[in-house]
Structure 1
Amino acid sequence: MRKEFNLVLRPEEVYDEPVFHQLVAGKAGFASSEALVIRQVRRSIDARGRQVKVNVSVEVFAGEEPPARVGAGMVYPDVRNSDPLLIVGAGPAGLFAALRAIELGIKPIVLERGKDVRSRRRDLAALNRRHLVDPDSNYCFGEGGAGTYSDGKLYTRSKKRGDIRRIMEILVSHGAKEDILVDAHPHIGTNKLPALVENLRQQILSAGGEIHFETKVTDLILDKSSIRGVVTEAGARVHAMGVILATGHSARDIFHLLARNKVYLEAKPFALGVRIEHDQQLIDRIQYHCRGDRGPYLPPASYSLVQQTEIGGKQRGVFSFCMCPGGFIVPAATAPGELVVNGMSPSRRDGKFANSGMVVAVELEDLKGYHQYGPLAAMVFQQEVEQAAWAAAGKTQAAPAQRLVDFVQKKESSQLLKTSYQPGLTSCDLHAILPEFVGKRLAMALPRMDPKMKGYVTNEAQLIGVESRTSSPVRIPRDKESLEHPQIERLYPCGEGAGYAGGIVSAAMDGERCAEKLIGKYRRSKLA
């Protein structure tokens, strides 16, 4: 017998397992939970009222074994002698495209400019401690892409673009905890992601696929209006039935390469701003309405804020982005001479600080002085802001920073707070670094956010710049249905870098879809 129902409980009733099981048994009409199998199906925290509640969907099995949460697993045939498909980039889009190609009987060849996930750590340490930026191995480039050394957030709004549950189950079958199937806002954590990425790699290799690290694409092999392969920095020419381009939102050299080859590109709006860092205990007190700490049952609190601003009759949103409870801020530059910050957190989210991007929408109308760069206009604009931040903070990876209230009042901070940002901070006037419309709108929006989270606007928080890699500033066009580039046959722009995804799950789904479409059209048996 199976029963399923919904409960609204206090945190201590949900996260204390014996108490939870006894409550559920009583709700199901049983005196004891001993002979029952009780599983949470869905779980979300509701902190809108003075008393925090947890909404739980639960299923109870009596006298029968429950079905497995995750299916028997995908079938990955041996494809080492099959037709090859070329995938450029080993982030979530590229890895999931490779797995889907294998399922469909095609051999993926993955080319990744960076190093394997473990080897990346040495370069990240050099970046944090010695301020050395390796252009091919950093927080953005390398196995697993930018998502690997991140919070590992797995929620997405792209529900119409693929099977979210399928992606989650693949992640669980390769090492993620089953909690990601239950939590309303699941995440994996930067400490857990590397092992999971290694498992995905091993699955691809064991089925006969190929992954080549430190292999940078420097040219395209074009035959009139069709792509037949790529040329690597070492001079190798790699041919395949088609190319899935999954290079991420920071591969500026790839955008330049496409532009040189006169491949259609489009400038794309993105968002730009800062990271804002608070003490996590303050965010907990605000969100959970508690005077002291949050207690042993609640997770570190998160938040999401948005505020409309108007300047010169033009409305523009200011919003939080990629909020990391109990996390830390990291240097995310991909080239010397630029400074970029991003946020991440471990699986337990147990750090002292909370950080979030706080960004302003940048529209194409804001790029009037950049029209000569054509489709790369937004990218050049983005890069110049990063270079200005690097110069203002002393031409190292120390980041420019300013206390929150000081920023609003346009006053340089005489002293900065402690921070999670390992390379260190330099007190700067962020208004002098950010584009004027970005700085103005941030200063306008922040005080208006305080009524939504009373105590959020304080000089015990600080802004750290710049948060500029929110999404790709370039879109590589593709047909809405076929997903193929409208000008170049067999080229399938994919994931965040092409402008069609915004996170691990949406990128993974996009990778799968591109593999399916390419293989469906160009599998050898279908060729004339």
Structure 2
Amino acid sequence: MSVRIETVDVVLPLAASEDGDAWKKAAARKLGVKSVAEVRLLKHSIDARQREVKVQLRLVVGVDGALPEEGVPVWECPPLAASARQVVIVGCGPAGLFAALNCLERGWKPIVLERGKDASARRFDLAPILREGRVIEDSNYCFGEGGAGTFSDGKLYTRATKRGPVRKVYEILVAHGAPERILIDAHPHIGSNLLPKVVMAMRESIRAAGGEVRFGAKVTGLLRQGDKVAGVRLAGGGEVTGEAVILATGHSARDIYRMLAEEGLLLEQKPFAVGVRIEHPQPFIDRCQYHLGKDDERPRELPAARYALATKIRGRGVHSFCMCPGGFIVPASTENDEVVVNGMSLARRDSPFANSGLVVTVEPEDTEKFQAEHGVLAGLAYQKALEQAAKLAGGGGQVAPGQRVPDFLKGRISDDLPEMSYFPGARCAPLHEILPGAVASRMREGLQLFDRKIRGYAGGGGLLLGFETRTSSPVRIPREDSSLQHPELQGLFPCGEGAGYAGGIVSAALDGMRVAEAVTG
């Protein structure tokens, strides 16, 4: 006799949200039956819009019998033929890794080239930037195995659900050691303490299936045969050939944009965003988002609260970016003459601080003063100028310029700064003067608007650190809509966030998979 299986959505009070019997009773009520035999959780999300926090659950229900067993996802592909065609993938971030796995599934041999180190060795290169303020320029929070996302929280939430199989991305991550919980949570994340092991496992899958992953392999040029790419040149004089080249270098590989410009290939300016990291005590965000009393602690069933804020001011977006509940602010510089900040958190999100980017959109016309000298790379020069100004204002190393939020609003330098998560430390500085006027004025208005949504957001407990400049690439490497190849060089496939076609781990992974399909036909 076959089992009747249904999927239902139910809403439960927080206190009952982890009670399996409550799930069964709620499912039975929803289905109009006396009882159900078994339930399994498919999706979990928290609804904190009202004063009483509720939990929304999607359940698969075995109404009159047990549900079929559910296996743990695995990643497998057929053995690679000795005659397999070869593709060069530049970059070992999510776009490059998922492109490599998809190429293997389709019978092509990927050779992944990464300028930085493997994730294990890369960890040791974070100590100098944190403790000495010294950047190892090819191995840091941005460069190395897994890309910038490896040590930047591992947030997986995406709105890019129409770009491809998001569920497959999650399942591949789980198959390589990510928590199965990411298959269920509405806003999944892995955590910067767990993600390195996941990307290392993906690398081993690529190698075990017949692909290659090479570290310390910095690309300095393209090999061509007429109007077709034939491979790449490496620093030190080596070459790697292939029938196609996938450029999946991430948004901080500025030398790649310069290389393409020097080779005369078409590039385009695109909007990006710059601003600061804003940090508050996590208990303050918890109280505001979960409607808790002043002395109430966050209930055990609730994760560290997150937020998303956005508005538009005089034609430019002002919004929170890459919000890290229970997280840390970290130095994300890739050169020693700059200071750049970003956010990360561990799997448990148990830091006493909450931070987020607070950024303003920059359009190509806003970079006009850099265009005469830098042309299509004017956005890179705009970013770099801000990063160098932050270095100067911080006074040395990776010390960041900082300001209390009320002082920023009133246009005065802070007398002191609150306790913070940023390990290299901060120095009081006039961020309201250092930021471009068009950015600072919009940020000021945005803070005042956001304070109406989260009361106290612009209060004395808030800290601003400069500068958050690497939100996305200011350059797009164009590609044809159908073939996904660069319009001027056959076989060159711009891919992921660095090429301007993604905005996070999952969207980059999806783009990598899509480009791999285009390469392999």
Task: Bin the TM-score by the shorter chain.
Answer: over 0.9
Cα distance between partner residues in 1 of 2:246 and 2:57: 40
Q: Alignment partner for residue 184 of structure 1, among 183, 186, 197?
A: 186
Cα distance between partner residues in 1 of 2:76 and 2:318: 42
User: Cα offset for 1:449?
Assistant: 1.2
Which position in structure 1 is the counterpart of 2:261? Answer: 259
Q: What SS does the corresponding residue of 1:159 show, helix, strand or coil? A: coil
Counterpart AA for 2:11 = V
Q: What SS does the corresponding residue of 1:498 show, helix, strand or coil? A: coil
Cα distance between partner residues in 2 of 1:410 and 1:508: 42
User: Cα offset for 1:28?
Assistant: 6.3
User: Cα offset for 1:434?
Assistant: 1.1
- Does 1:344 pair with 2:344? yes
User: Cα offset for 1:70?
Assistant: 5.5
- Inter-CA distance 69–303: structure 2 relative to 1 (3 Å threshold): farther
Q: Residue 47 of structure 1 contacts residue 288 of structure 1 at CA under 8 Å; is this kept in 2? A: yes
Task: Map 1:233-272 to 2 at 5 A.
Answer: 233-272=235-274
- Does 1:446 pair with 2:450? no
User: Cα offset for 1:396?
Assistant: 1.4
Cα distance between partner residues in 2 of 1:26 and 1:308: 44
Q: Residue 80 of structure 1 contacts residue 209 of structure 1 at CA under 8 Å; is this kept in 2? A: no
Q: Note the alpha carbon deviations across 1:157-211, whole angstroms, 9 max, x for none.
A: 2222211111111111111122211111111111110111111011000011000
- Does 1:304 pair with 2:305? no
- Does 1:11 pair with 2:26? no
Counterpart AA for 1:354 = A
User: Cα offset for 1:17?
Assistant: 4.8
Task: Map 1:386-401 to 2 at 5 A.
Answer: 386-401=387-402
Cα distance between partner residues in 2 of 1:348 and 1:29: 38
User: Cα offset for 1:234?
Assistant: 2.1
Q: Residue 137 of structure 2 contacts residue 336 of structure 2 at CA under 8 Å; is this kept in 1? A: yes
Cα distance between partner residues in 2 of 1:305 and 1:11: 25
Which position in structure 1 is the counterpart of 2:367? Answer: 367
Which position in structure 1 is the counterpart of 2:149? Answer: 147
Q: Note the alpha carbon deviations across 1:327-370, whole angstroms, 9 max, x for none.
A: 00000000111010000111111110000000000001111111
- Inter-CA distance 219–127: structure 2 relative to 1 (3 Å threshold): same
Which position in structure 1 is the counterpart of 2:434? Answer: 433
Cα distance between partner residues in 1 of 2:141 and 2:469: 14
Counterpart AA for 2:383 = Q
Which position in structure 2 is the counterpart of 1:224? Answer: 226
More moved, 68-77 vs 440-449: 68-77
Cα distance between partner residues in 2 of 1:334 and 1:165: 33
Which position in structure 2 is the counterpart of 1:156? Answer: 158
User: Percent of aligned positions with the same letter in both sequences?
Assistant: 52
Superposition TM-score, scaled by structure 2 size: 0.95
Cα distance between partner residues in 1 of 2:328 and 2:418: 14
Segments of 5+ residues of structure 2 without an aligned counterpart are none
Q: Residue 3 of structure 1 contacts residue 59 of structure 1 at CA under 8 Å; is this kept in 2? A: yes
Counterpart AA for 1:309 = I
Q: Residue 501 of structure 1 contacts residue 507 of structure 1 at CA under 8 Å; is this kept in 2? A: yes
Segments of 5+ residues of structure 1 without an aligned counterpart are 521-528
Q: Residue 148 of structure 1 contacts residue 190 of structure 1 at CA under 8 Å; is this kept in 2? A: yes
Counterpart AA for 1:382 = Q
Cα distance between partner residues in 2 of 1:478 and 1:24: 49
Q: Residue 80 of structure 2 contacts residue 108 of structure 2 at CA under 8 Å; is this kept in 1? A: no
User: Cα offset for 1:23?
Assistant: 5.2
Q: Note the alpha carbon deviations across 1:202-249, whole angstroms, 9 max, x for none.
A: 100001100000110111112232110111112111110110000000
Q: What SS does the corresponding residue of 1:322 show, helix, strand or coil? A: strand
- Inter-CA distance 80–125: structure 2 relative to 1 (3 Å threshold): farther
Which position in structure 2 is the counterpart of 1:526? Answer: none
Counterpart AA for 1:349 = R
Q: Residue 278 of structure 1 contacts residue 353 of structure 1 at CA under 8 Å; is this kept in 2? A: yes
Q: Residue 81 of structure 1 contacts residue 107 of structure 1 at CA under 8 Å; is this kept in 2? A: no
Cα distance between partner residues in 2 of 1:85 and 1:129: 39
User: Cα offset for 1:79?
Assistant: 4.6
Which position in structure 2 is the counterpart of 1:523? Answer: none
- Inter-CA distance 370–11: structure 2 relative to 1 (3 Å threshold): same
Q: What SS does the corresponding residue of 1:495 show, helix, strand or coil? A: coil
Cα distance between partner residues in 2 of 1:188 and 1:255: 30
Q: Residue 391 of structure 2 contacts residue 398 of structure 2 at CA under 8 Å; is this kept in 1? A: yes
Cα distance between partner residues in 1 of 2:74 and 2:334: 40
Cα distance between partner residues in 2 of 1:335 and 1:133: 6
Q: Residue 28 of structure 1 contacts residue 60 of structure 1 at CA under 8 Å; is this kept in 2? A: no
Which position in structure 2 is the counterpart of 1:106? Answer: 108
Aligned length: 514
Cα distance between partner residues in 2 of 1:337 and 1:486: 35
User: Cα offset for 1:72?
Assistant: 5.8
Q: Residue 132 of structure 2 contacts residue 397 of structure 2 at CA under 8 Å; is this kept in 1? A: no
